[in-house]
Amino acid sequence: MKAFRVEKYGDAATVRAAEIPDPVVGAEDVLVKIHAAGVNPLDMRIRNGDFKAFLPYRLPLVLGNDLAGTVIQVGADVTEFAVGDDVYARPDKDRIGTFADLIAVHQDDLAPKPAALTMTEAASLPLVALTAWQALVERAQVQRGQRVLIHAGAGGLGSIAVQLAKALGAHVATTVSTANVDLVKKLGADVVVDYRTQDFTELLDGYDVVLDSLGGDNLARSLRVLKPGGRAISVAGPPDPAFARELGANPVLRLAMTALSFRTRRSAKRHGVTYSFLFMKASGDQLRELTPLVDAGMIRPVVDRVFPFDETLRAMEYVEKGRAKAGKVVVSMT
């Protein structure tokens, strides 16, 4: 099969198209013919080696973390899927590789594709939708009437998180560039801050939850808009001790993560709030919980551009250079 894989950690030049053997299908695996795959900043971070301390991949490695496709084979112990089923998934972090013709995915990580979506639309959702769900539902337990700030509301994660927070009944604020103000209003944002001309810390206060996808100074400033007891959850900030424990990290790595997040956790404590780092996990069950919201139109995919599979490298460059105006970039195999 054809696949795009990283041969050694580094820049774009380390990723090449290659013909590789078809995946081996285990007893609880489902072999999926991939019709479309989402492109995420995570793909470039994995390629660069940003996570090699706690995600020790064996290279060469096929990249790609989102898929939509059709089941063409099932393992002997698979009970949830049959040949011909249309599915979508974010494969487990140890079994990524959706920039390929085929992938073997554990049945627990798959879900039936939302009937209302095309393959391209469905492929844009799993990673960002699961991230939004695990941040807002699983971790923050957002309740009706709470105030939630979603940074970068027109981005891949932000556009879905804004819609999910509204579906949960929250009052939603978001930060975007001038060009995307109307888009996020249509997605349901109650308060829109144009970060090019406005300072969100001067306009917002008393929020229950902040979902940060930018890190750095943006995360540090976000702590100031939370009310006492509020929660800052970041997918771009420093890993924290809880994440190290969840990973089962060795003592040296645990100490390193504790040190990396010390300043942020100390600042959060001074503000009377909490900080946590989120690295999302694959979950077919959570995708099943999201699917009714998608089919009901309460969560709509936002797709910026679709590239043909042969142009996967161009799609990655497009994302890495920040050319996407809103939502996700997808590669299509069909």
What are the residue ranges of CATH 3.40.50.720 in the chain?
A: 127-277
The pLDDT, as a whole number, for residue 246 is: 87
The pLDDT, as a whole number, for residue 225 is: 98
The pLDDT, as a whole number, for residue 248 is: 85
The pLDDT, as a whole number, for residue 247 is: 84
Q: Considering the domain 2-125+301-332 in this protein, what is its CATH number?
A: 3.90.180.10
DSSP per residue, 274-288? EEEE------HHHHH
What are the residue ranges of CATH 3.90.180.10 in the chain?
A: 2-125+301-332
Joined together, the tokens standing for residue 322 give: 């920040």
The pLDDT, as a whole number, for residue 4 is: 98
The pLDDT, as a whole number, for residue 296 is: 95
**Cα–Cα distance between 205 and 202 in angstroms, integer?**
8
Angle (CA) 170 176 178, round 5°: 130
Q: Is 27 exposed, middle or buried (0-12, 13-18, 19+ CB in 10 A)?
A: exposed
Q: What share of the chain is helix, strand, coil (3-state, %, to 5)?
A: 35, 25, 35
Joined together, the tokens standing for residue 225 give: 């808009």
pLDDT < 50 stretches in the chain: none
Please tell me the pTM assigned to this model: 0.97
The pLDDT, as a whole number, for residue 282 is: 97
The pLDDT, as a whole number, for residue 108 is: 98
CA atoms lying within 13 Å on the CB side of residue 40? 28
Sheet of strand 207-212, all strands in order from the earlier edge strand to the far edge: 191-194, 171-176, 147-150, 207-212, 226-234, 274-277
Q: Please state which of the four CATH numbers 3.40.50.1000, 3.40.50.720, 3.40.640.10, 3.40.50.1820 is assigned to the domain occupying 127-277.
A: 3.40.50.720
Angle (CA) 203 207 211, round 5°: 100
